[in-house]
Amino acid sequence: MLYVKNVPGWERALRIAMGLAGLVFAAMNWGAAGSTLAVAAGLAGAMLALTGLVGFCPMCAMVGRKPAKGR
């Protein structure tokens, strides 16, 4: 494996749920006047869902977050 998971299980579930909510918001508001907000919400949602699925957050690794012991 090229990386060590640095996101605990409860946070992974939360990231996936919030990421899906952002993607749903973006899909519902794609053609609306605030499409810039929809694009931003879609990108943020995609990143949250991806880091939740993979279990690794590059930004957390940059600030020195270590994986929890006993996993």
pTM for this entry: 0.83
40 to each of 3, 16, 19, 32, how far by Cα in Å?
A: 27, 17, 12, 13
- C-alpha 7/C-alpha 46 separation (Å) is 16
Specify the pLDDT at position 4: 82
- Helix ranges (H only) for 29-62 are 35-54, 58-62
Distance CA 6, CA 61 (A): 7
Per-residue pLDDT of the chain (71 residues; tens, 9 = 90+): 677 888 899 999 999 999 999 999 999 988 776 688 889 999 999 999 999 999 999 898 899 887 766 55
